[in-house]
Structure 1
Amino acid sequence: MEGIGAGEANAAVLRWLDEWNPEVVLCGAIAFPSGAACVRWARRHRRPVVVFDDARRGDVPRPWLVNAIKRCIYRNVDAMLLPAPSHADDYASWGVRRERMFFGVNVVDNEFWSAAAGRARAQADALRSASGLPSRYILAVGRQVPKKNLRCLIDAYARFRQKAEGAVPDLVLVGEGPERQALEEQVAGQAVIGVRLLPFADPAKLALYYALADALVLPSLAGETWGLVVNEAMACGVPVLVSRSCGCAKTLVEEGRNGWTFDPTDVSGLSGLLARMNAMSAEQCLAMGNASRMIIANWGLVRFAQGVLAAIDAVKGEHRGFRSPIDRVILSLWKGRYRPT
């Protein structure tokens, strides 16, 4: 995608839509070229359009003009498919009517993750040895970029390990990214014992990592619109420690039942949560993992399908054009952009 300009991407999407001529358009976020093109095509051809999105106002600081433009664009969207009611206020502030908000974005194939984790646990000792995994560990999974806040996690882990008495779990970081070297240097420079950095892993390997972990921690700063690794870990039956900046925190984490949330800027607070997890018995950890599995049970592919069908049912038969000449101009000019992080 980095090598394709927004104009080129828009033109390609418009060509495909002209060829397919759909009765209802389903598309991704308007921030990206595909979403921008789909909304423009739908208004030109008077077809209903449903947009999938999970971005919140606080994820990316936007000047008032950008928010005003988003309101103009959203006035031309017939329905939104969002992750959960936790996101509703943000979209209402952009002018989306609450009765046109539906939920089901940000689900995973729970059956795949649960089954893969079950197979891994059945061969735990052999797989742990073959994969070089420690006997116990806290797991973090994600692209190694600043917003993932992994430096803070390493600081918190170092503080936890320094104060802990007796055996403690290692910290395993899975992923790649531009911060990889800096993280390695941080671990070496601070002489932090027990930190392992593993490369990017495919889903089958990730399921193994989740299944054998004591807990998953996601310490992200602002910009983590949801955090699908939390869904995956919960489907694998794992307790979760999740930054309150993550979009999923309010919805998927029940304090003290399947994990805890925390302030991602509070190193001491996160260190304390790591210590709290470490002090739990095996039975308590198992109960938390089972609670994760129960909470996430309704967040599978069926939820997504039901949300999509409800949104389509609400908008089918609508044939409106642009809300105003100004909106037509804005939608003609806005091409979206691809911003990898």
Structure 2
Amino acid sequence: MNTIKLAIITSHPIQYYAPWFRYLASAGDLQIKVFYLWNFGVTHQIDTGFQQALQWDIPLLDGYEYEFVPNVSYKPGVHHFWGLQNPSLISQVKAYNPDAVFLMTYNYASIYKFLWKWNSSEIPLLFRGDSHRLLQPTGIKAWARQQFITQIYRRFAACLYVGKANYGYFQYHGVPSNHLFFAPHAVDNDRFFTQAESAKHQATIWKQELGIPSDHAVILFAGKFESKKRPLDLLQAFLAANLSQVSLLFVGAGSLEADLKTAAAHHSNIYFAPFQNQSLMPRTYAIADLVVLPSYGASETWGLAINEAMCLSRPVIVSNHVGCAQDLIHDKHNGLVFTAGNVSALVSSLQEAFSDRQRLRRWGEESQKIVSQYSYTHASKGLKQALQYVIAPSKEKFQLNK
């Protein structure tokens, strides 16, 4: 019985995906090799969103086979189309001789070249994306973009969707339902579950160090301080909500940092902490009594910070432009969803959340139950179903664990 050889192409080592690759490799029924197009995350480089140099402090290259494909871009990165230019990508993947190729990104120069030249009738292509149309563009440009993306997706024998909004996006671009397989977005749940108790103890100490009153509940925003994340909306809503014994904590960095601190300067109970690396993220969520992600626009394709927060049993509030809203937030069971960009609606959501503190804690407990179904196990099941489908003519050669 042969093992399926799967080539995985992705931009760079990512803290959410590397543990999944390790999980796939350890399962034993797939032989995988990851082809990275850039070395961000494992070397010290500037992150354009955080506007500072960083390197993730958890292992991202352990436990699975990988190789880096030389990137000749004059300005490497994933923030622009020409940031990934890898002339040897096709030859390196061919040398691996895979049974299928799994792409986790496509909107870069290297990938378009790969899609144009790869013989997908001989070795099938799979794609996993997380885009959505929660903010629906209109007009001739939107129509032209739909037509173009529809042609791109025809290159793939199957697509993996991460949630409901993403499923709708694929269908809008002409992907038939029998070509779609559910592989939910997930983080390394086990890492957060196992560190939960120690993280709570660390958070108590950190709360004292930050000067937050011990009897205050904490609303947390953790991420990049940039306009699409709408941290200023949260600050304004917090001030308007006038919550008793509640503090607001911003953790991160970015272009809006000065604006946020200026807006908070003359108000009490608003605190700031710098960017926290991956090893400190369990503590970061553990300090919170409520986690809020108020993003606006199409760029918050999922919001994996919400998965992480829910692993720490945190209740959550997100805007309706956050990709995971329809999947992870069960209204008044583990959190609330408000209309993106509507500060008054966010004010009401904050007041509703803190109107019953015991209920808020129950919401957090429910969060962990919900997110346990969004795991690498479930994502792997979807991937294996897709592989069985695309390699159907010779599937008798292969046996994958369900």
- TM-score tier after normalising by the smaller chain length: 0.7 to 0.9
Structure-1 separation of matches of 2:207 and 2:316: 21
Cα 1:25–1:132 shift into 2, 3 Å: farther
1:20 to 96, 99, 104: 96
Cα 1:268–1:129 shift into 2, 3 Å: same
Structure-1 separation of matches of 2:131 and 2:320: 15
Matching residue of 2:108: 32
Q: The residue matched to 1:43 in structure 2 has which SS?
A: coil
Q: Structure 2 matches for 1:99-178, cutoff 5 A?
A: 99-122=178-201, 125-130=204-209, 132-135=211-214, 136-161=217-242, 164=243, 167-178=244-255
Q: CA deviation at 1:120?
A: 2.0
Matching residue of 1:255: 331
Question: Which AA in structure 1 matches 2:169?
Answer: D
Q: The residue matched to 1:96 in structure 2 has which SS?
A: coil
Matching residue of 2:167: 88
Q: CA deviation at 1:44?
A: 5.8
Q: Structure 2 matches for 1:48-87, cutoff 5 A?
A: 48-58=124-134, 61=137, 63-87=142-166
**Among the aligned pairs, what percent are the same residue?**
27
Contact kept? 1:43, 1:76, Cα under 8 Å: no
Contact kept? 2:184, 2:374, Cα under 8 Å: no
Matching residue of 1:195: 270
Q: CA deviation at 1:124?
A: 5.1
Q: Cα RMSD over matched residues?
A: 2.3
Structure-1 separation of matches of 2:319 and 2:279: 26
Per-residue CA deviations over 1:259-296 (Å, capped at 9, x if unaligned) read: 10001222112112212222222x32221111000011
TM-score scaled to structure 1, two decimals?
A: 0.84
Cα 1:275–1:310 shift into 2, 3 Å: same
After superposing the two structures, state which structure 1 stretch, 271-280 or 2-11, moved more.
2-11
Q: Which has the higher helix share?
A: 1
Structure-1 separation of matches of 2:258 and 2:237: 19
Structure-1 separation of matches of 2:317 and 2:277: 22
2:349 to 261, 267, 273: 273
Q: CA deviation at 1:104?
A: 1.7
Cα 1:20–1:64 shift into 2, 3 Å: same
Matching residue of 2:257: 180
Question: Which AA in structure 2 matches 1:82?
Answer: Y
Q: The residue matched to 1:80 in structure 2 has which SS?
A: strand
Cα 1:124–1:58 shift into 2, 3 Å: closer
Q: CA deviation at 1:128?
A: 3.1
Matching residue of 1:205: 280
Q: Which has the higher strand share?
A: 2
The runs of at least 4 aligned residues of structure 1 exceeding 4 Å deviation read: 58-62, 130-134
Question: Which AA in structure 2 matches 1:272?
Answer: S
Q: The residue matched to 2:354 in structure 1 has which SS?
A: helix
After superposing the two structures, state which structure 1 stretch, 263-272 or 8-17, moved more.
8-17
Cα 1:132–1:21 shift into 2, 3 Å: farther
Contact kept? 1:52, 1:105, Cα under 8 Å: no
Aligned length in residues: 312
